[in-house]
């Protein structure tokens, strides 16, 4: 199949709005997405979670339509809509029949500029966001640990705070905060559209130009943020909370796709935890019988450098120290031994296959294009497999020695407390988590 | 006139018709039902086998047997150890998984076209030659027990388990598919082999093949090994669809910030003729995403919950109806009262013409999105066959939904909802919830 550079059409409207279009005629459907370059990284201390709060408010109506009318209109057109916020972006989408795309275009164009931010709606919706935080974080011990790891690993970089924000900050927001955030970041110059599906690009583009073309460009916001200086020693934290099983998470500072080393880390994550023939599965799950699950992961497409993580949920009665030792042994093995040709080929095959499987959904294709665009450029997506194939056993060894070292990591342990019912216990996430509307 | 009529039809229906790629249905000599649909835009194939051997067939005292037998397929064969299976799969970057639910078990493969033959060989090997090695079974049981323990940290799952157990006290739908802390340690290899020999036969199965594969390739690459799979008699088990009829409240105390609430009762089976009227009714009540009455009252107007929804969960036999929500402990009573009020309102008043139309437009218009990936299409086709909906289901669906009237919505709400006779499960900090 031809590369995306040949198949994707990109243009930038005079007002700075970038439009990324990919025709896919498999089914008479379209995914229409608006991505704003604003997330928790663009927030200030004391007002964390403001981007996510604004995402919720984007459904509360404009001068043209009332509160909650947005989703009603989309659903009456047989479509689904929603939105999600991360550290780096806020994204809105409509999945619907190809002949209804105009509905999505007009509604999204309207709320890019004409949002009504009303005090009453805000007060109620803030309660909803607080419920969301209770649901996702407060009552989920592993989420609390992840939040604490991020707050420890990142000291100056805005990845320090959670996307949904600290509860105290959510309580502190004002309508004026939201208005200012909206004015600064919701402009054509700070947004782009991604549309994938069954359309003709010339026809679609003219509809887009009609709806978005006349909007004022806005001022490009300053997107530079501090990143943390190199870590100078291991950091350790623990979370004590009512829970069943201990959970261990190690986070190492690593670069994102702007640096070639990130592709070697991608291969390392696959060697460690891609499938049930992977090293962590064979060692921690099968041989040593220490854990229920073990995982290695990283965020290749974060806008600022993020973490490479090793995590494990322990089997009842097993010691965290044993699991940590087993993780260390696997890291040392990567640093000491050259990965065999066949094992490397297997990892590459896995990454290639999941890349192809992932293209089956137009929604996923659009999200992938957009996330690369946020991190660097959607065009980089074409480099993904070639760069993965270029990774050598020497790269893996070198990169493991460079980043996967104790001085560069934060270790977090969830220590389960017995449930307050007093029932005796029997013997014995994800750092990029998006907050969804 | 004719032309105008034709155009009218085309305007209403073309999306739904074209959303469904052509499907071939064949019954093999061993009575295996084979569904096949070619879709060659991407170079891979998705295959799903359904065996009519869900957890409702677990013998009493052996809860989890259906699940462990399905999982056991991948634990080793006469030709391959479990490690060899994993190694082979990962080298292809393929996925092969097995599981079961209350009605049936599935074995699913996703593989690149270039590896189809190797993948298929593995698929047939685990399906027809599993050995259920003793040592691997012990590990699988240990893992399942730990997963059950881990799920205790998810209050929504704790509530769901308690609800099913209470609604179906003497009914095979009542126990968890993956078994219980009591039943799993007793599980033996012999029981799994017996369960496998009883149910894993072609005349008890449906195979669906979707993706970059031609009819000719199905014939030459898949059929020869399928034809060798021998059929056998399947024993009929009796199923008593019994359920709790009295009102009950179950309270579970946890040190958490939200009350996790289920309000529910008995629902319907998939073949209930009222299924479509119920689908429309439930969309308006609590199934309709951001536009349902429950979302409007509990989330939009009062900010009491992030998520609140209702659903029917129909199976081969009647499943449940549930309203599920989470709210801060102190709002638990208010949210419960509001939910019950909405159940009562939809039983007393006709829904508005606008609500009815909105529901129909969504249900009909969004149908094609249920089929737009290989994974979605494969499970859709398999279920259409299993529940006997007919391969013309996508064409029939719009008229089934369109024919529902306001009066019918009222009738099914009265008939199937029981706001004064429900089961309430609440997992919360009971003191803060005022529910002690």
For position B401, what pLDDT does the model report?
Answer: 98
Chain A hits for B365, Cβ within 8 Å: 76-79, 96-97, 100
CB pair distance less than 8 Å for B288 and A75: yes
Q: What is the pLDDT of residue B12?
A: 35
Q: What is the pLDDT of residue A427?
A: 37
Residue pairs between chains A and B whose CB atoms are closer than 8 Å: 187
* Chain B partners within 8 Å of A282 (Cβ): 83
Residue B394 domain-assigned (yes or no): yes
Put simply, whether B382 touches A (Cβ < 8 Å) is: no
Q: Is A154 left (phi over 0), alpha (psi -120 to 50) or beta?
A: beta
B43 in a structural domain: yes
Average pLDDT over residues B58-62: 95
As given in the structure block, the two tokens for residue B79 are 């030709």
Residues A375, A207: Cα–Cα separation, whole Å: 28
For the sheet containing A247-254, what is the strand order?
A235-242, A409-417, A247-254, A306-314, A291-298
- Residue B5 has a pLDDT of 33
Residue tagged active-site, from A43, A55, A94, A266? A55
Closest-CA distance, A314 to chain B, in angstroms, reads 9
Question: Residues B291-309: what's their mean pLDDT?
Answer: 98
Does A420 contact B299 at a Cβ distance shorter than 8 Å? Answer: no
Question: Is A55 designated active site?
Answer: yes
Percent of chain B with pLDDT over 70: 96
Distance CA B104, CA B202 (A): 14
Say what the pLDDT of residue A29 is. 97
Whole-prediction pTM value?
0.94
A50, A113, A181, A413, A431 from A175: Cα distances, Å: 10, 16, 10, 38, 29
Per-residue pLDDT reduced to its tens digit, A43-74 = 999 999 999 999 999 999 999 999 999 999 99
Query: Do B424 and B315 share a structural domain?
Result: yes
Whether residue B7 is contained in a domain is answered as: no
Q: Is the Cβ–Cβ distance between A52 and A164 less than 8 Å?
A: yes
* CB-based contact B366 A345, cutoff 8 Å: no
Structure tokens at B435: 């529910």
User: Is residue B243, in this structure, part of any structural domain at all?
Assistant: no
- Cβ pair A128:B42 closer than 8 A: no
B168 lies in the same domain as B25: yes
Contact A358/B at CB under 8 A = no
Containing B260, the helix (H) or strand (E) segment is strand B258-266
DSSP conformation class of B131: -
Q: Is B372 exposed, middle or buried (0-12, 13-18, 19+ CB in 10 A)?
A: buried
Are residues B98 and B150 both part of a single domain? yes
Q: Which residues of chain A have pLDDT under 70?
A: 1, 420-437
For chain A, list the domains and their CATH numbers: 4-212 (3.30.830.10), 235-432 (3.30.830.10)
Our CA-based measurement puts residue A410 at a distance from the nearest CA of chain B, in whole angstroms, of 24
Closest to B338 (Cα-Cα) out of B269, B263, B394, B412: B263
CA angle B347, B349, B351 (to 5 degrees): 100
Query: Quick check: A215 and A109 in contact, CB under 8 A?
Result: yes
Q: For B112, name the nearest residue in chain A, comparing CA atoms only.
A: A353
Coil, helix or strand at residue B306: coil
- Contact B234/A at CB under 8 A: no
**A351 reaches B (C-beta below 8 A):** yes
- Do B84 and B182 fall within a single domain? yes
- Chain B partners of A345 at a C-beta cutoff of 8 Å? 91
Question: Which of B255, B289, B369 faces A29 most closely, judged by CB atoms?
Answer: B369
Contacts B301 to A, Cβ<8 Å: 124
Residues sharing a CB contact under 8 Å with residue B153, sequence separation 6 or more, in sequence order? A140, A141, A142, A243, A244, A245
3-state secondary structure of A11: strand
Domain of residue B312 covers 248-433
Residues B211, B266 within the same domain: no
User: A436 CB near a chain B CB, below 8 Å?
Assistant: no
Q: Residue B237: inside a domain, yes or no?
A: no
| B295 domain-assigned | yes
Q: Cα–Cα distance between B148 and B145 in angstroms, integer?
A: 5
Number of domains in chain B: 2
CB contact under 8 A, B296 and A345: no
Res A1: pLDDT:
62
Q: What is the pLDDT of residue B21?
A: 82
Which position has the higher pLDDT, A260 or B11? A260
Same domain assignment for residues B134 and B279: no
- pLDDT score for B224: 97
CB contact under 8 A, A353 and B94: yes
Nearest 5 degrees, angle CA A384-CA A387-CA A389?
A: 110
The verdict on B162 and B59 lying in the same domain is: yes
| Pairwise CB contact (< 8 Å): A140 & B91 | no
Which residues 276-315 of B have a C-beta within 8 angstroms of A? 288-291, 296, 299-307
Smallest CA-to-CA distance from B155 within A5, A83, A309, A242 is with A242
pLDDT tops 90 at residue B271 = yes
- Neighboring chain A residues of B289 at a CB cutoff of 8 Å: 71, 75, 80
Rounded to an integer, what distance in angstroms lies between the CA atom of residue A14 and that of residue B108?
49
pLDDT for position A428: 35
- Please give the pLDDT value at position A2: 75
Tokens representing B147?
A: 């997963």
CATH number for B161: 3.30.830.10
Residue matched to tokens 């670069």: A255
The pLDDT assigned to B6 comes to 33
The answer to whether residue A275 neighbours chain B at the CB level (below 8 Å) is yes
In terms of domains, do B152 and B84 share one?
Answer: yes
Same domain, B156 and B29: yes
The answer on B363 and B216 residing in a single domain is no
Quick check: A350 and B39 CB within 8 A?
Answer: no
Q: What is the pLDDT of residue B1?
A: 31
B254 in A contact zone (CB under 8 Å): yes
Residue B240: the pLDDT is: 80
Q: Which of B183, B198, B227 is the last residue of a domain?
A: B227
Is B5 inside any structural domain? no
Residues of chain B contacting residue A126, judged by C-beta atoms under 8 Å apart:
303
Cβ atoms B381, B208 nearer than 8 A? yes
| Residue B99 pLDDT exceeds 70 | yes
Average pLDDT score over residue span B285-309: 97
User: Is the Cβ–Cβ distance between B103 and B315 less than 8 Å?
Assistant: yes
Whether B17 contacts chain A with CB within 8 A = no
Find the residue in A nearest to B39 (Cα).
A26
Q: What's the pLDDT band for B14 if we cut at 50, 70, 90?
A: very low
Task: Kindly provide the ipTM of the predicted complex, given to two decimals.
Answer: 0.94
Residues B189 and B285 placed together within one structural domain of the fold: no
- Whether the CB of B374 is below 8 Å from some CB of chain A: the reply is yes
> Is residue A171 less than 8 Å (CB to CB) from chain B?
no
Tens digit of each residue's pLDDT (9 = 90 or more) over A288-320: 999 999 999 999 999 999 999 999 999 999 999
- Do B189 and B47 lie in one domain? The reply is yes
Partner residue opposite A29 with nearest CB, options B90, B257, B372:
B372
In this complex, the residue of A67, A80, A135 whose CB is nearest that of residue B258 is A135
* Per-residue pLDDT tens digits for A378-429: 999 999 999 999 999 999 999 999 999 999 999 999 999 987 654 433 333 3
Dist. CA A77–CA A96, nearest whole Å: 7
Tokens of A228: 């943390």
Beta bridge partners of A250: A310, A411
Q: What percent of chain A lies above the pLDDT cut of 70?
A: 96
B241 in any annotated domain: no
Mean pLDDT of chain B: 94
Q: Chain B window 106-125: which residues touch A at a Cβ cutoff of 8 Å?
A: 110, 112
A41 CA: distance to closest CA in chain B (Å): 24
Interchain contact A353–B (C-beta under 8 A): yes
> What is the pLDDT, as a whole number, of residue A418?
87
């Amino acid at each position: 199949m031809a590369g995306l550079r040949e198949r994707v059409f990109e243009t930038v409207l005079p007002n700075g709005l970038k439009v990324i279009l990919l025709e896919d005629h498999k089914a008479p459907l379209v995914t229409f997405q608006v991505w704003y370059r604003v997330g928790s990284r663009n927030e200030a201390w004391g007002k964390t979670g403001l981007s996510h709060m604004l995402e919720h408010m984007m459904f509360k109506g404009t001068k043209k339509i009332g509160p909650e009318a947005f989703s009603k209109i989309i659903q009456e057109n047989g479509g689904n809509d929603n939105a999600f916020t991360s550290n780096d972006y806020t994204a809105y989408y409509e999945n619907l029949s190809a002949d209804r795309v105009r509905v999505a275009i007009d509604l999204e164009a309207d709320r890019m500029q004409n949002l009504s931010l009303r005090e009453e709606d805000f007060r109620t919706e803030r309660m909803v966001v607080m419920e969301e935080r209770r649901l996702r974080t407060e009552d989920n011990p592993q989420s609390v640990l992840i939040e604490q790891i991020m707050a420890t690993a990142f000291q100056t970089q805005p990845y320090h705070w959670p996307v949904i924000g600290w509860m105290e900050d959510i309580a502190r927001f004002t309508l004026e905060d939201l208005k200012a955030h909206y004015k600064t970041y919701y402009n054509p110059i700070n947004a782009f559209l991604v549309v994938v599906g069954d359309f003709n690009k010339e026809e679609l583009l003219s509809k887009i130009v009609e709806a978005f073309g006349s909007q004022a460009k806005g001022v490009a916001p300053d997107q530079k943020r501090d990143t943390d200086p190199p870590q100078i020693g291991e950091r350790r934290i623990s979370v004590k909370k009512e829970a069943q099983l201990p959970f261990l998470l190690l986070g190492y500072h690593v670069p994102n796709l702007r640096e070639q080393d990130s592709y070697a880390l991608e291969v390392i994550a696959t060697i460690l935890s891609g499938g049930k023939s992977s090293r962590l599965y064979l060692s921690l799950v099968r041989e040593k019988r220490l854990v229920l699950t073990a995982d290695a992961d990283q965020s290749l497409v974060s806008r600022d450098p993020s973490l490479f993580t090793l995590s494990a949920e322990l089997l009842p009665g097993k010691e965290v120290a044993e699991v940590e030792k087993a993780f260390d042994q696997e890291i040392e093995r990567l640093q000491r031994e050259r990965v065999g040709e066949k094992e490397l080929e297997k990892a590459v095959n896995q990454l290639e296959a999941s890349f192809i499987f992932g293209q089956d959904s137009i929604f996923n294709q659009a999200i992938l294009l957009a996330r690369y665009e946020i991190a660097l450029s959607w065009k980089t997506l074409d480099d993904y497999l070639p760069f993965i194939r270029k990774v050598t056993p020497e790269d893996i060894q070198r990169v493991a020695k460079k980043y996967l070292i104790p001085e560069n990591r934060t270790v977090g342990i969830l220590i389960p407390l017995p449930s307050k019912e007093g029932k005796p216990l029997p013997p014995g996430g994800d750092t990029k988590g998006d907050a969804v509307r | 006139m004719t032309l105008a009529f034709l155009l009218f039809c085309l305007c209403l229906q073309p999306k739904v018709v074209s959303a469904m790629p052509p499907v071939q249905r064949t019954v093999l000599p061993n009575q295996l039902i084979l569904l096949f649909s070619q879709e060659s835009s991407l170079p891979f194939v998705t295959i799903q086998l359904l065996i009519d051997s869900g957890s409702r067939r677990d013998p009493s005292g052996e809860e989890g047997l259906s699940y462990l037998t399905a999982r056991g397929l991948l634990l080793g064969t006469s030709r391959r150890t479990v490690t060899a299976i994993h190694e082979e799969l990962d080298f292809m970057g393929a996925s092969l998984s097995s599981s079961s639910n209350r009605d049936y078990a599935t074995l699913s493969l996703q593989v690149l076209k270039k590896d189809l033959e190797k993948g298929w060989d593995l698929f047939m090997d685990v399906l027809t030659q599993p050995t259920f090695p003793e040592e691997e079974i012990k590990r699988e049981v240990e893992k399942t027990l730990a997963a059950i323990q881990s799920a205790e940290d998810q209050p929504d799952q704790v509530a769901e388990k308690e609800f099913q157990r209470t609604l179906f006290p003497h009914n095979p739908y009542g126990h968890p598919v993956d078994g219980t802390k009591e039943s799993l340690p007793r599980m033996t290899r012999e029981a799994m082999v017996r369960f496998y020999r009883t149910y894993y036969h072609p005349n008890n199965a449906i195979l669906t093949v979707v993706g970059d594969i031609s009819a000719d390739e199905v014939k030459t690459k898949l059929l020869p090994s399928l034809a060798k799979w021998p059929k056998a008699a399947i024993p009929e088990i009796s199923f008593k669809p019994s359920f709790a009829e009295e009102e009950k409240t179950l309270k579970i105390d946890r040190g958490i910030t939200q009350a996790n609430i289920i309000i529910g009762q008995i629902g319907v089976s998939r073949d209930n003729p009222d299924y479509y009227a119920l689908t429309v009714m439930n969309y308006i009540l609590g199934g309709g995403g951001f536009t349902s009455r429950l979302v409007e009252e509990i989330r939009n107007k009062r900010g009491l919950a992030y998520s609140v929804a209702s659903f029917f969960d129909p199976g081969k036999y009647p499943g449940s109806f549930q309203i599920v929500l989470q709210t801060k402990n102190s709002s638990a009573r208010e949210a419960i009262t509001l939910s019950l009020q909405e159940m009562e309102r939809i039983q007393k008043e006709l829904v508005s013409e606008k609500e009815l139309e909105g529901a129909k437009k969504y249900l009909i218009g969004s149908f094609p999105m249920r089929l737009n990936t290989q994974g979605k299409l494969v499970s859709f086709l398999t279920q259409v066959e299993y529940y006997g909906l007919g391969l013309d289901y996508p064409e029939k669906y719009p008229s089934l939904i369109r024919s529902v009237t306001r009066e019918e919505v009222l009738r099914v709400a009265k008939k199937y909802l029981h706001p004064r006779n429900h089961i309430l499960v609440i997992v919360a900090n009971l003191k803060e919830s005022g529910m002690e």
